[in-house]
Structure 1
């Protein structure tokens, strides 16, 4: 199974039949239930908890596969710890050593679902001390579905599947595949790559270097690195702004529908791909920073006096459907207009 096929499953609506194939591809030995196995749950947060099967690892450990139907009043995207507590009780460290669990919304208007890995291990170290490990509910989980990119999860599952080629496919391999620490390392590596690519482009463009950032055209070679500091600062702040907006759009706060007359803005159900959509629908993508991002950063996000918090360019919606949309007011200085024009 190719990574793009895995990603397609992860970014589609939840369908366990497709996951059946993917789980079978990733793990060494999987036993799927032929009928519905209902597990008891005394909480009022779930519609059902079904055991879909189990996974046997080469170290003798077993992971059970659960599907949990979440009642519509609970938000899949925002809740992690509460869901973790619903299912962690099924680990006994004797028969079940871990859980691969799908949290699926009863409300089908919620496009996202959550895949989490839960594990507990206890052991005595060589010095006689007792050690216990638990997966953190905020750190071993992926949000999947139509609003998500699925890129990292697809890559991790593909990497995990390569363990089948050897004789060791152990619990630690699964823990690593879901570890947020590795996610953070990957994020900062890619962030650094993008910083280098973008800042290198800016420093090598003579128009940007000399006309926009006003670097002396007759600079000495040994002065170049110091002279490029304003460009690197610009790059750093731009990427910081985009990362911040990425988290806001994930919450559904960017591009929400404009309110009807006399009503207030409801900050939900905005574009979760706001920045990507803004670029794709821009009439002048070659002016994306100077015309679109500059308007968004310096005249919109930092302007609390906007009528209904509208985001407009040249008095009109920048999106192809021509529907007026809103973005929040953000104070704190991140979107102060403190850089050169023309980029």
Structure 2
């Protein structure tokens, strides 16, 4: 049984046995040792029900790793017990004098947060105050593609390889490797305007994918009538309707973009001949007003009759929604390894010429610059 099969089994049926099998497969130096760690839970009993140590490992460079499984109270959302789990992990690693730990906190439905927490170093000296966490939130009935890809191909035989398996850079690279050919295909098939230049094609394709990715985050928030799969459901409704002839972009997406998301409450007036079902109209009527410009009709691109054929839209949807969306932005010491809002910046930077100033600055770097500037100011003024 290969890594991905073991991981899928753990997702489908989370249990101690399946988790230990995953640890054994992905970490060659793993040594099973079960121990009750509930004595650490006094401060965390409000959110965490139980905690067990499931083993340890030591690599060739003498970095030491602990393995844990814990059960939370209640069901997972993106924020459930997140901070408390992090604080507990740091406390254990400090007390046990270990370099890092793999923690799987699960809920009663079998969803789990799979996290690496590790100490930061200054040269060869470990800091007992600063730790960093990287997390995959693994939910049943979602694709969990990033988790399966990154952990599925990993062998955690050294701290460097462990960090690579939990690297946001690796996740971004993997995503973009699949994203770019989809984007290029969309740009090459745009129809409805015979005077298209290559730049115009790419700009129209870029605007389309950014709108769809942005809408993916909006539906993840539950702002599309509570539906977290609104776009996929809209596509399914279109496929089951009598519409045909590559009409999804013009007849279905444009009203969502320009009439619904670009109009304030009370002014979301769909025409009588819109093809949406009553259930979809009800969702659209409660959709948010996003007046930041992204869904404003662009005079240079959205008024020329341009559209994208159904096949390329379907291919892009199938690719994009294999990934889990998270609405949590990363901080300096805590990173979610899923599609987060930073990906909009990453996509834009990768696709647009950096010489024109399209360089995305991650939140962690902004945070560092602010800290350095504040420290300098305090040094001069105190």
TM-score normalised by L of structure 1: 0.72
In the TM superposition, residue 28 of structure 1 has moved relative to its aligned partner by 0.4
1:116 aligns to what?
A: 115
In the TM superposition, residue 323 of structure 1 has moved relative to its aligned partner by 8.1
1:223 aligns to what?
A: none
In the TM superposition, residue 289 of structure 1 has moved relative to its aligned partner by 1.6
Contact 1:77 1:113 in 2 (8 A): no
The 3-state SS of whatever aligns with 1:99 is: strand
The 3-state SS of whatever aligns with 2:40 is: coil
Higher relative contact order (CA 8 A, sep 6+): 2
Contact 2:106 2:112 in 1 (8 A): yes
2:305 aligns to what?
A: 341
1:65 aligns to what?
A: 67
Match of 1:193 among 157, 181, 187: 181
1:267 aligns to what?
A: none
Question: Residues 308 and 78 from structure 1, CA distance in 2 versus in 1: closer, same or farther, beyond 3 angstroms?
Answer: farther
CA–CA separation in structure 2 for the residues paired with 1:301 and 1:192: 27
With 116-125 and 17-26 compared, the bigger mean Cα shift is at 116-125
Gaps of 5+ in 2: 308-382
2:337 aligns to what?
A: none
2:354 aligns to what?
A: none
Match runs of 1:313-332 below 5 Å: 313-314=274-275, 316-317=277-278, 326-332=286-292
Contact 1:52 1:66 in 2 (8 A): yes
Gaps of 5+ in 1: 164-168, 203-207, 217-226, 257-269
The 3-state SS of whatever aligns with 2:30 is: strand
Correspondence 1:49 to 2:51: yes
The 3-state SS of whatever aligns with 2:275 is: coil
Contact 2:100 2:117 in 1 (8 A): yes
In the TM superposition, residue 302 of structure 1 has moved relative to its aligned partner by 1.6
2:201 aligns to what?
A: 231
2:20 aligns to what?
A: 20
Match of 1:287 among 229, 241, 247: 247
CA–CA separation in structure 1 for the residues paired with 2:161 and 2:34: 27
2:322 aligns to what?
A: none
In the TM superposition, residue 201 of structure 1 has moved relative to its aligned partner by 2.6
In the TM superposition, residue 154 of structure 1 has moved relative to its aligned partner by 1.2
The 3-state SS of whatever aligns with 2:153 is: helix
Structure in which a larger fraction of residues adopt helix: 2
